[in-house]
Amino acid sequence: MNQLFAAYARGKEAKDLAVILGEAALSELDKKFAAFADQFEERYVRQGFEENRSIEETLDLGWELLSLIPRNELKRIRQEYIEKYLPKEAVKA
């Protein structure tokens, strides 16, 4: 959860920077974090009242969202958990 919120905060900062300087001023990494923030808000936070997501589904969704950013940016998660839970098609950078 700590990593999810850290990535979200970084994504929000990147989005704020894009508002001020324009999206062209963002690095590729900033763009990935901004995309993560959008997806986090849309899919993780905005769970509707009619959606009954289990804890397992919520955890899986969190890992799926973390796969949007490079592995080397997942600094708040133990490597063994990354290897075990991060989807295999995740970005390797």
C-alpha–C-alpha distance, residues 78 and 75, integer Å: 8
- In-domain check, residue 80: yes
Residues spanned by the domain of 12: 2-85
User: What band does 46 get if pLDDT is binned at 50, 70 and 90?
Assistant: confident
pTM: 0.87
Q: What is the 8-class DSSP label of residue 69?
A: S
- In-domain check, residue 91: no
- In-domain check, residue 31: yes
- In-domain check, residue 56: yes
- In-domain check, residue 27: yes
Q: Which two tokens stand for residue 58?
A: 């919520």
- For range 35-58, the mean pLDDT: 91
| Residues in the chain, overall count | 93
The dihedral over CA atoms of 33, 5, 76, 22, expressed in degrees to the nearest 10, equals 20
- In-domain check, residue 90: no
- In-domain check, residue 32: yes
- The Cα angle at residue 76 between residues 92 and 43, in degrees rounded to 5: 70
Number of structural domains (the chain) is 1
- In-domain check, residue 46: yes
